[in-house]
Amino acid sequence: MKEKVLEIVNEIRVAKELSAITQLHAEDNLRDDLEFTSFDLAELTVRIEDEFDIDIFEDGLVNTIGEVYSKLQK
């Protein structure tokens, strides 16, 4: 699961001409650390829902990778 999230994050980053990252940390902030815009967060939501059949923003905002992992483990 974590590897797939990393793959999705990197695909979004590379499309924005940002460098790929080798690992994600629970405390990584989606906006501040990963440089995601609102559009990127929407894409992340759609891609994760397609892959895992879970809407990570269903119960409100998600700000960190740890929160994404928590939603995926429910």
Separation between Cα atoms, residue 58 and residue 48, nearest integer Å:
12
Q: What is the pLDDT of residue 74?
A: 77
Cite the beta strand spans of the chain per DSSP E.
none
Q: Residue ranges per domain, the chain? A: 2-72
* Residues 52, 20: Cα–Cα separation, whole Å: 22
Question: pLDDT (tens digit, 9 = 90+) per residue, 26-64?
Answer: 999 999 999 999 999 999 999 999 999 999 988 888 999
Spatial neighbors of 50 by CB under 8 A, at least 6 apart, are none
Structure tokens of 18? 């940002």
The domain 2-72 having CATH identifier 1.20.120.530: the answer here is no
pLDDT at res. 60: 87
pLDDT at 4: 98
